[in-house]
Structure 1
Amino acid sequence: MHFGTLSLPARLFLLAWNGEKGRFTGGPDLHLVVRAGALAELAGRGVLVDTRGIVTPVVGARTGDTVLDALVELVEQSRPRTWRGWLTHRSRATLSAVRDQLATHGYLRQERRRVLGLFPVRCWELERAGYAEALQADAAAVLRGPRPVAEVSESDAALVMCAATGKVRPFVTGRDRGRHKDRLAELTDRGGGASPELTELMRALRKALASAIASAEATRSSSGGGGD
C-alpha cells in the first residue's frame, strides 16, 4: 500500500469507514486500536522501546508527526506503564488528535447536527471516500492473501495486525479472524521486521490490545451494553 505520509494510527482510523452506511463504524473500541497503531509506529521508528515490559521513550527522539510526538511527550511526562497500560491511558486523546489531523489535511470534515432536533452533536464526514476504499481493499488483501507475508511491508503488517486484533468494522469480521488466525500471527511477526526485539514487542502489543478489547467488551456486557 502506498498512501503518502499518513501515519499508522491515521490509516487505522480510515479503515473504520463504512462506505455502505456512509459513516465510520469502527466499533466502540476504535480509540484502543488507534492508540495501538501509534505505539506500533513509534516502536518501529525506534522512538519507544521495551524495557522489561515497560514502555520507555528514547530521550529526545521525535518523528515530526504532531499526533505521534504528542504521545511521546505524554509517555515522557507520565509514570512508567506497560504496553497494556498505554493502550488505555488517555487513549481517546490520540483518537481526537488523529481526527483533527485528518481534517487539517483534507481527509475529513466536521459537521454539527442535532439529535431529535434538540441535542447538538459533532459528526465527521469523509472527504476522500475513494482513498479509504482503496486502503481497505489493500488491507483486506494483506490479511486474506494470497500475497506471501514476506512480501508485505512492516508498516502494512502492523496496520492489519492492529485492525484485525482490534475488530475494526467493517474491515474485519469474526470469521476473518478465525479463518486467518495463522496468517495474522505471521503478520504480527512481520511487523517486527528483522529485529528479534521488535518482533517480541509486536507480539506483546498484540496480546495487550486483545486483552484491552476483551476487558472493554466485558465491561459493556456487565453493564448491559453488549459486546462484539
Structure 2
Amino acid sequence: MGITLAEEITLLSLDDESGSVKQRQSVGWAVAGALLLELVLAERVRVSGKYLELVDTSPTGEELLDGRTESIRAWMGGRSKRRVTDWLTKDQAKAIGAAVERLSGRGVVVEERRKALGVFPVRRYPEADGTAERELRERLASAVIDGAEPDERTASLVALIHAAGLQALAFPGTPRKEVEARTAEMAEGQWAAESVRAAIRDMRLAMAAVTAATVVTVT
C-alpha cells in the first residue's frame, strides 16, 4: 500500500512553508473518517447506517491502520456495534498526529522542533520531498477538474474532502463553486464513503451548534 487516505488528507493540509496544519478541526474529522474508511475497504470494519462493527482484527500490514484496529477493538468493549460518530469524536483529536507521524516515518515530511516565545514547545512538519503531494494534487485535479474517471481510492478521497469541506485545501486557487458540484457528484454512490461522510457531516453540524451556543452564552 502507498500512503493512506488519511495521510493524503493530512499532506494536503500541511502549509508548505510552516509545516503547520491548516483548517485543523475539519481536517481532524476528515482524517479520522479516512482511517475508518481504509478499514472498511480492507474489510476489517463494517459501517452500516449510524453504526460500525469490527469484523476482522488480523493485520493489514499497514501500521497506521493496524493501530486503529486495536484501538477500535478496545473501544468496542465486547459490544457488537457502536456509533460511527462516537468513534470519530474519540479519534479526531489524535488522528492528525498519527498520520503526520506515519508521513514522517516514510520520509515524506520532517519534524522540526522549536520554542515559541522561547518558552512553548512547537512542532512543525515541512515536506522533505514535494513529489508525493504534487502527484496527489495532479491525481485529484485530473478527476475533479479535468473529469477523468477516478479509481475507487481517488473517489473515496474526494468524498471525504467533500464531506469535510476541504475543497480549498485540495484545489487552491480554483473557485469552490467550480469543484463543489463535481466533488458532490463523485461522492454519490460511494456507499462506504457515504456512511463515513454522513458521520463527519453530523459531527461538523454538532460542533457548529456547540460553537453557536458558546457565542450566545458569552454574549
- Under a length normalisation based on structure 2, what TM-score does the superposition of the two structures give? 0.82
**Structure 1 stretches of 5 or more lacking a match?**
193-198
Secondary structure in 2 aligned to 1:90?
A: helix
After superposition, residues 6-155 of structure 1 pair within 5 angstroms as 6-19=3-16, 21-29=17-25, 30-51=27-48, 53-79=50-76, 80-147=81-148, 151-155=149-153
- The one-letter code of the counterpart of 2:165 is K
Question: Cα offset for 1:154?
Answer: 0.5
Counterpart amino acid of residue 159 in structure 2: M
Which amino acid in structure 2 is aligned with residue 142 of structure 1? A
| 1:187 matches 2:178 | no
- SS of the aligned residue for 1:121 comes to strand
The aligned counterpart of 1:219 is 210
2:159 to 158, 161, 164: 161
Percent identity reads 20
Paired letter, 2:126:
E
The count of residues paired between Structure 1 and Structure 2 equals: 208
What is the CA–CA distance in structure 2 between the aligned matches of 1:139 and 1:156, rounded to whole Å?
7
Cα deviation, residue 159, structure 1: 0.9
- Alignment-mate amino acid for residue 22 of structure 2: G
Cα distance in 2 for partners of 1:216, 1:136 equals: 29
Partner Cα separation in structure 1 for residue 63 and residue 124 of structure 2: 22
What is the alpha-carbon distance in structure 1 between the residues aligned to residue 201 and residue 29 of structure 2?
A: 10
The whole-number CA distance in structure 2 between the counterparts of 1:172 and 1:66 is: 29
Change (3 A) 1:48 1:131: same
Counterpart secondary structure, 1:216: helix
Counterpart CA distance in 2 for 1:123 and 1:47 is: 32
Alignment CA distance shift 1:51-1:6 (3 Å)? same
TM-score scaled by length of structure 1 = 0.79
1:189–1:43 Cα change, 3 Å = farther
CA deviations 1:13-34 (Å, max 9, x no partner) are 1111334x44344302222111
- The RMSD of aligned alpha carbons is 2.5
What is the alpha-carbon distance in structure 1 between the residues aligned to residue 212 and residue 130 of structure 2? 33
| Structure 2 counterpart of 1:195 | none
**Structure 1, residues 156-203: CA drift from partner, whole Å, max 9, x if none?**
111111123213352257952x4444432332245x4xxxxxx2x322
Find the aligned partners of 2:212 and 2:114 in 1 and give their Cα distance: 29
Which one has a larger percent helix, Structure 1 or Structure 2? 2
Residue 133 of structure 1, CA deviation: 2.7
User: What CA distance in whole angstroms lies between the structure 2 residues aligned with 1:31 and 1:17?
Assistant: 12
> 1 CA distance for matches of 2:171 and 2:68?
27
Question: Are 1:204 and 2:200 matched, yes or no?
Answer: no
CA distance in 2, matches of 1:93, 1:74: 11
Q: In structure 1, the residue corresponding to 2:111 is in which secondary structure?
A: strand
Per-residue deviation, 1:57? 1.1
Answer whether contact 1:71 1:94 (CA < 8 A) is retained: no
d(CA) in 1 for partners of 2:45 and 2:163?
21
